[in-house]
């Protein structure tokens, strides 16, 4: 749907990512409204764990967005590389990533508009594809393209599924109303997969994947990896409860629970982990 460039800021060494929407797509009013919605939502979310939007603009009929450049890899690529060499993500690294993404989600869920009214943002697409890990250890959430928010000009119709099937919550897969607990569930999937080095809900077809999501049968992580502490089992299984009412009510409560587990683990070293697998 667009082109992505690495851009230098003037004569400085600073860099930005420039996303340019393909011209023929901007002729589609609905697509343009979706793009503007995504950018406007993300531009209000100023937080260390969310990739920052710097500018939205239009030049000669071409729309663009300039955003923060994270020098690193997305989590999907990092997990692929660790699996290729038969390794596991260190427990403390996985939990630390979970803590940081939960912190970013907590900020997004609490975001307000210029009048102080809640935006009621739900990301709806928390997945390894949308988590960036910087070589310096920064963890950033990106892509609010399918986010649900109160002030979006284009709303999702009833019965339409938005997001990646393997990272949906059961209610999302059933096209039911979603709230921040949907993002808690999705982050739980991401963390489970980091720990267990396999997909949690991945069928041979989209229909099979959705069936697995709706059933929400979650193996206890420590049965697949014996160094997972019991406390982490409990936290993850709560986040991945089939019923939203049985999950953490907020991303902040999930973050606090993960931080409690992390306090009893070895200090995480994300830059070291990045260096180990960056060039595999």
Among 202, 200, 198, 190, smallest CA distance to 251 is for 190
125 is catalytic: yes
16 alpha carbon, distance to own chain's centre = 20
Cβ neighbors of 230 (< 8 A, separation 6 or more) are 222
- Please tell me what DSSP assigns to residue 9: -
Q: How far apart are CA 250 and CA 242, in angstroms?
A: 15
CA dihedral (256, 257, 260, 261) positive or negative? negative
What is the DSSP secondary-structure string of 223-234?
A: GT-TTS-HHHHH
Pair 134, 51: CB distance under 8 Å = no
- Tell me which of 37, 74, 125, 138 is the catalytic residue: 125
Q: What are phi and psi of 108, to 5 degrees?
A: -60, -45
Enzyme catalytic residues: 125
């Amino acid at each position: 749907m667009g082109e992505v460039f690495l851009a230098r800021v003037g004569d400085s060494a600073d860099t930005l990512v420039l996303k340019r929407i393909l011209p023929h797509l901007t002729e589609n009013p609905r697509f343009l409204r979706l793009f503007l919605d995504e950018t406007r939502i993300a531009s209000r979310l100023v937080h260390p764990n969310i990739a920052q939007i710097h500018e939205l603009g239009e030049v000669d009929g071409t729309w663009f967005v300039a955003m923060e450049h994270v020098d690193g890899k997305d989590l999907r690529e990092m997990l692929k590389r660790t699996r290729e060499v038969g390794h596991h993500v260190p427990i403390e690294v996985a939990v630390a990533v979970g803590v940081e993404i939960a912190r970013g989600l907590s900020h997004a869920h609490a975001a307000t508009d210029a009048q102080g009214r809640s935006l009621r943002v739900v990301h709806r697409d928390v997945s390894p594809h949308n988590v960036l890990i910087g070589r310096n250890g920064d963890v950033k959430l990106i892509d609010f393209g399918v986010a649900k928010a109160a002030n979006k000009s284009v709303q999702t119709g009833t019965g339409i599924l938005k997001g990646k099937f393997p990272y949906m919550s059961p209610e999302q897969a059933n096209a039911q109303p979603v709230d921040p607990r949907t993002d808690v569930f999705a982050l739980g999937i991401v963390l489970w997969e980091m720990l267990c080095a396999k997909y949690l809900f991945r069928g041979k077809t989209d229909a099979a994947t959705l069936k697995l999501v709706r059933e929400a049968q979650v193996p206890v992580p420590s049965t697949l990896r014996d160094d997972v502490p019991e406390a982490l089992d409990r936290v993850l299984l709560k986040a991945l409860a089939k019923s939203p009412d049985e999950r953490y009510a907020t991303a902040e409560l999930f973050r606090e629970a993960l931080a409690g587990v992390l306090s009893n683990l070895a200090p995480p070293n994300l830059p070291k982990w990045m260096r180990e697998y960056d060039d595999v």
